[in-house]
């Protein structure tokens, strides 16, 4: 066993031999968007992400399905088609799964992936002098809340969906074979700050994040100011705030975005400064916003400082 429950990584890693380790992960949730095909894509991209965050390549996936008897089975087949398309795009095989009857639909995948044991990326090896790169924009939790409220603009919905359905493969491949890449995590339910704190704490370092450089979906500012903030963002704030220092200069909406729980969020990559440009160059074809958002320092007082 190489990575298990003792770390806050999302996947388990088991060494099969000197060259191959198995990554095993699963994730599923209730619909975040109305369109079943899009939901299937998002849930699959989200589940596959855990394999990419460990530096691995997914090869096999199984469906996890909860579905009410009273709903049109056509909705389910659309969800499954969305999942299938993402698994195919990832170059993996979808080989069945299991479904149970439930009051509320839920969908996700159990995914197996392979990784070279020497190339496993965990979230606790960031080093002082590293640069932090975020591979997707923030704010999708807020946009999803605005979608539920019927207030989100078409542009905002489109941007959020594009981000949520994008595979983190592009981020993973951007780091491939670059020795200076020390640590990776994917940004999900704890928001950027929660996951950044976990990574900094596990690495015993301080992340200095520059708020002006954080990519986010533009409309998230307007919707956050309107109070369209998911309960999870407040929970994250209350849980993590003591381990971070956030400058008073940062507007309230941006604080909300920092704690906003992300569905199928991007990768946070900690890479040696001299190799960071290479990673950014490799991300050039990404369909979504990415940016260098800060630096890693020797630990001082707080795990994350946002200025």
Partner 1 sequence: MNNNTTVDARGLSCPQPVILTLNAIKKMNDGEIIILVDTETSQENVCRAGKSQGWETAEVQPEGDAYRIILRKEI
CA angle 213, 215, 216 (to 5 degrees): 135
| Sheet containing 57-67: order of strands | 12-15, 21-29, 106-115, 57-67, 93-101
| Window of 51-59, 103-111, 148-156, 189-197 that interacts with partner 1 by CB under 8 A | 148-156
How many residues would you count in the chain? 307
Nearer to partner 1, 251 or 287 (CB): 251
Residue-by-residue DSSP string for 149-164: TT---HHHHHHHHHHH
Q: How many residues bind partner 1 (CB under 8 A)?
A: 15
Nearer to partner 1, 147 or 205 (CB): 147
Does 34 bind partner 1 (CB under 8 A)? Our answer is no
CA angle 202, 301, 276 (to 5 degrees): 55
Residue-by-residue DSSP string for 191-250: HHHHHHHHHHHHHTEEEEE-GGG--B-THHHHHHHTT---HHHHHHHHHHGGGEEE-TTS
What is the x/- site pattern for partner 1, positions 224-253, by CB under 8 A? xxxxxxxx--x-------------------
| Window of 28-36, 147-155, 195-203, 279-287 that interacts with partner 1 by CB under 8 A | 147-155
* Contact by Cβ (8 Å): 184, 121: yes
Nearer to partner 1, 89 or 221 (CB): 221
Report, in Å, the least distance between residue 154 CB and partner 1.
Answer: 18
Residues 83-112 that bind partner 1 (CB under 8 A): none
Report, in Å, the least distance between residue 209 CB and partner 1.
Answer: 23
Q: Which of 149, 155, 242, 277 binds partner 1 (CB under 8 A)?
A: 149
Does 148 bind partner 1 (CB under 8 A)? Our answer is yes
Would you tell me which residues interact with partner 1 (CB under 8 A)?
145-146, 148-151, 224-231, 234
């Amino acid at each position: 066993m190489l990575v298990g429950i003792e770390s806050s990584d999302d996947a388990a890693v088991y060494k099969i031999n000197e060259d191959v380790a198995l990554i095993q992960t699963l994730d599923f949730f209730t619909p975040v968007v109305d369109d079943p095909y899009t939901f299937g894509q998002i849930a699959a991209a989200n589940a596959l992400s855990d394999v990419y965050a460990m530096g691995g390549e997914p090869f096999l996936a199984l469906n996890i399905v909860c579905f009410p008897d009273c709903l049109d089975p056509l909705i389910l087949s659309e969800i499954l088609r969305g999942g299938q398309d993402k698994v195919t795009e990832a170059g993996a095989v979808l080989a069945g799964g299991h479904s149970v009857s439930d009051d509320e639909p839920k969908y996700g995948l159990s995914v197996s992936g392979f990784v070279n044991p020497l190339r496993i990326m965990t979230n606790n090896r960031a080093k002082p002098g590293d640069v932090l790169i975020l591979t997707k924009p923030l704010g999708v939790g807020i946009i999803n809340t605005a979608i539920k409220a019927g207030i989100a603009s078409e542009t905002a919905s489109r941007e959020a969906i594009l981000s949520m359905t994008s595979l983190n493969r592009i981020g993973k491949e951007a780091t491939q074979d670059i020795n200076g890449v020390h640590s990776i995590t994917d940004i999900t339910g704890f928001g950027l700050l929660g996951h950044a704190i976990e990574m900094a704490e596990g690495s015993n370092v301080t992340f200095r994040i520059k708020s002006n450089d954080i990519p986010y979906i533009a409309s998230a500012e307007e919707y956050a100011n309107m109070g369209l903030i998911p309960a999870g963002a407040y929970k994250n704030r209350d849980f993590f705030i003591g381990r971070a220092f956030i400058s008073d200069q940062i507007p309230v909406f941006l604080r909300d975005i920092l704690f906003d729980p992300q569905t199928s969020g991007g990768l946070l990559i900690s890479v040696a400064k001299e190799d960071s440009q290479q990673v950014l160059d490799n991300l050039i074809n990404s369909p979504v916003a990415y940016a260098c958002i800060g630096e890693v320092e020797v630990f001082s007082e707080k795990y994350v400082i946002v200025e």
